[in-house]
Chain A
């Protein structure tokens, strides 16, 4: 029995010394010391069959053999890991420029990315996002924002009206909203001031479809109603948002006329050629708009601003054709 142990020990030590890596060492360990079928383990398992005297001697010897093999495994393992560390630069070289295992590459649309920036900036100022109908009545789209029927100001917003076939609706009553301002009266009806609201959404107008025009486009509108809201607050808010969205922007505030504000202003931004481009319209909410909504203009005042999200996205990403934003070509989408 002892002889057999000596043979096994020598055999094991020889194998250990010639082992070249930790995997081989583990195989050797299992072969000799493995719990179920290790050669040494098997002998130790048989010890109880031996007569008591022999059992003690062989038992001690077996344990010593086991210990010797364990030590050798440990020594060789340390040696191997040291050797590996020394040669790792050569033996484990990888070409890191070789292609990766491809993972799915998805993309957020530039309009989503741009809107998200708008939402983040306005959130910090306490604005809450609302959405509402695109299929809208003349009342909310026009009349309640101080654009009565037959007002010349409506000429700037030629509308797409819905076919009222098979319904009780009269022609010209229901249209696709031309502006996100339709949500002003809707929100006022159901929310008491103070409020800070952001309305992003799709709008529709009769227009050409070319590089700079579309009859479907995205807008966002912000409005604030509170006690003591002033024009300087409007300008502060616009400044904060514009500088956040378009770092380095140079802009001016020009007077203009929109029916639902008084006074009204527009922001014009400097083009690279030095000329000015209209960027957004804004103003103090017209007292008529507040009155129609049941808000007392003597107590409350507010401002509103509206801007083309489509145009903003085009500026952000230097897109020169509005149709790019509705083109589903992956060669475009993968750029964003």
Chain B
């Protein structure tokens, strides 16, 4: 909403330098961060919030400046006075559903020519192209007073009638700037006999536009239903200065005044004479309404005490006429709200008006008082747990990355996903960002690839949402933690994950995948471990399949792992308790065993451990071909173990190994 200071000065005295004015207006909610100098003038370029259509006009801005700087607005009552039409030449068929107020007038005998320089200059300053006096006047009055209006060539309207209706959809319409449209269903239109002559609120029709030959005109100022204008505007991808006002809500109380201003300018600049009088159809009275505000509520919301006189003064400055009733401390403000402030309907709205003009920077700053709420809120998320995981990974040399949730079809296909069964955005911004990632591995591989030219050891992870499910009837989103590693082997990464899990107080095992495990196609078929806690799979560790790596242009060995954040939290058992250190010394011995093909070290360890309660620890300490050396710790918490007792356990261990796994000692 470009607004020249010189135009504002028609209505309000401005003494402040522009920087100061901009700051004061911004603090009150009319954000002015930009302005430009045009010759000796300054043109403000404010950002208007959706709730304030009244600021989409020079007069509305002037009114705000008057309130903020505490000066008087110069009233701009039209010198032109109109009377109601007795027998309007055009039969208007209005529809209050679509247009709660409709005001129009006919002027005959006008002369179309160029506008005077002063008007042309003002229009240019606000970015409008001067066309002819009649068109320029409609633009000028809209800019000045905030009600959009349109001028028709009276003689081009067929059958002396204008009928308002909703488009059925698909009608052809050619706008006055020569563009053809197929009308969307629900668009508000005016028809004469068989023709659409106005795409209301957006564009006038070519068939009834004024031209250099125009002699007689009809000017109307409608107030259209904002929702329909907005829908049509969106459907056509078409916005105009007028539609911006209608969408937010044009002032239904101002149509007569704005039309009178237009008539005044027409008679002055184009000549002619009013034919008959004014048509003014309105659904309601469109009179100011009353909202009450309690002094007690003012303090309760704002947290400061503002004297009633001060508050009433602020409201009066905003043209919110105020009467104070009631006893001291219990005052009630009866506030009359003018029609241009359709954003003010409840007490809180008025409280905001007082607060914003009083100035929030003048408020004290107090921390909330009262006891801290201790109940756990719904959707609680233990952020400490997340951070703990991230800190451990950091210590292990992993760098954290954040990537986009939206991925390309190309990536999905590479990974072996069927894009038909992946959640998809209907209106993607590009094909690169179209699908919701069902896994973090794709972006991690791309990240690895991006770093592979410069780094040999790469350890990255992401802690982020994945989105699973074939369609919107059944889908889930959850936090996954996934890592990718080059420059380390399977067992190094396994060690890192074990430390992570131990630090989180999770007891977990790395096992070969279960029979029913449905492996992701990017996993190396014989180098995949599932990570089990309780009976649940909380994650997996695997080498990435060389075929997939080739698709990403990677040649080295790459490990990847995934963990479910929620299952980690579920299995984190923080019930650690102190155990006294053993009173008696252990007996430690090394046992070299020959493992037949496919017998797992994990199984051997389990068999040894389960052979006796007195086996306190087993670890593999050396491997040479199929010969594995295990260090076993025997310990009796109650007494000193004798060599003889140790020997007994050992023979039981060996017997079990032989029977259950066909494992025998070396040599």
Contact = CB atoms under 8 A, between A and B. Distances in A.
B378 A190 contact: yes
Contacts of A131: 379, 381
B227 A163 contact: no
Given A134-B477, A135-B423, A166-B471, A263 B365 contact: no
B377 A128 contact: yes
Interface in A229-264: 229-233, 235-240, 252-257, 262-264
Nearest to A214: B404
Contacts of A197: 377
B356 interface: yes
A17 interface: no
Interface string A183-210: 1001101111111110010101011010
Interface string B14-55: 000000000100111101010000000000000001111000
Interface stretch (B262-270, B344-352, B617-625): B344-352
Most buried by A among B230, B304, B352: B352
A82 B176 CA distance: 106
B222 interface: no
Most buried by B among A163, A171, A275, A334: A163
B360 A233 contact: no
B550 interface: no
Interface string B431-464: 0010010000001001100110011001110010
Given A256-B49, A286-B348, A125 B477 contact: no
A168 interface: yes
Contacts of B26: 254, 268, 276
A82 B28 CA distance: 81
Interface string B382-406: 1100010011011111111111111
Contacts of B377: 128, 130, 187, 191, 195, 197
Given A129-B380, A134-B465, A326-B404, A174 B352 contact: no
A303 to B, nearest CB: 9
A145 interface: no
B365 A236 contact: yes
Interface stretch (B366-374, B510-518, B607-615, B649-657): B366-374
Contacts of B382: 129
B429 interface: yes
A191 B426 contact: no
B303 interface: yes
B505 interface: no
A226 B368 contact: yes
A108 B373 contact: no
Given A162-B423, A255-B352, A107 B368 contact: no
Nearest to B404: A216
B413 to A, nearest CB: 17
Interface residues of B, number: 96
Q: Interface residue tally of chain A, by bracket?
A: 35 or more
Contact of A196 (B373, B402, B460, B472): B373
Nearest to B421: A166
A160 to B, nearest CB: 5
Contact of A240 (B367, B391, B433, B460): B367
Given A129-B380, A162-B423, A284-B348, A169 B367 contact: no
A173 to B, nearest CB: 8
Given A191-B377, A227-B370, A112 B361 contact: no
B310 interface: no
Contacts of A284: 301, 348
B467 interface: yes
A330 interface: yes
B360 A130 contact: no
Most buried by B among A125, A130, A229, A232: A232
A116 B472 contact: no
A150 interface: yes
Interface in A147-168: 150-153, 155-156, 160-168
Interface string A110-147: 01100010010000011011111111000000000000
Nearest to A105: B397
B401 A328 contact: yes
Contacts of B443: 328
Contact of A104 (B397, B404, B472): B397
Given A125-B367, A152-B248, A230-B300, A328 B477 contact: no
A106 interface: yes
B285 interface: no
A66 B26 CA distance: 96
A202 to B, nearest CB: 7
Given A106-B398, A228-B300, A263-B301, A187 B368 contact: no
Contacts of B365: 232, 235-236, 238-239
Nearest to B387: A116
A65 interface: no
Contacts of B301: 230-231, 263, 284, 301
A235 B360 contact: yes
Contacts of A200: 383
Contacts of B398: 104, 106
A306 interface: no
Contacts of A152: 50, 226, 230, 247-248
Nearest to A288: B346
B181 interface: no
Contacts of B454: 330-331
B302 to A, nearest CB: 5
Contacts of B363: 231-232, 235, 253
Interface in A271-305: 275-276, 284, 286-287, 301
A125 B368 contact: yes
A126 to B, nearest CB: 3
B33 A107 contact: no
B245 to A, nearest CB: 11
A129 B381 contact: yes
Most buried by B among A169, A268, A328: A328
B450 A112 contact: no
A215 interface: yes
B427 interface: yes
A264 B589 CA distance: 74
A236 B369 CA distance: 11
Contacts of A128: 376-377, 380
A265 B301 CA distance: 13
B659 interface: no
B230 A328 contact: no
Given A106-B396, A163-B424, A166-B471, A263 B356 contact: yes
Nearest to A111: B402
A333 B401 contact: yes
A195 to B, nearest CB: 5
A224 interface: yes
Nearest to B357: A255
B360 A254 contact: yes
A301 B300 contact: yes
Given A233-B367, A252-B27, 9 more contacts: A108-B390, A129-B380, A162-B423, A164-B472, A195-B377, A236-B366, A239-B365, A328-B401, A328-B460
8 nearest A-B pairs in the assembled complex, by CB-CB distance: A104-B397, A232-B303, A230-B303, A190-B378, A263-B352, A328-B447, A255-B356, A255-B29
Interface of A: 103-109, 111-112, 116, 119, 125-126, 128-135, 150-153, 155-156, 160-169, 171, 174, 176, 183, 186-187, 189-197, 200, 202, 204, 206-207, 209, 215-216, 224, 226-233, 235-240, 252-257, 262-265, 268, 275-276, 284, 286-287, 301, 325-326, 328-331, 333-334
17 contacts: A107-B400, A112-B463, A130-B377, A150-B231, A160-B426, A161-B427, A165-B424, A166-B470, A216-B405, A230-B303, A230-B366, A231-B302, A263-B351, A263-B356, A264-B352, A328-B451, A330-B458
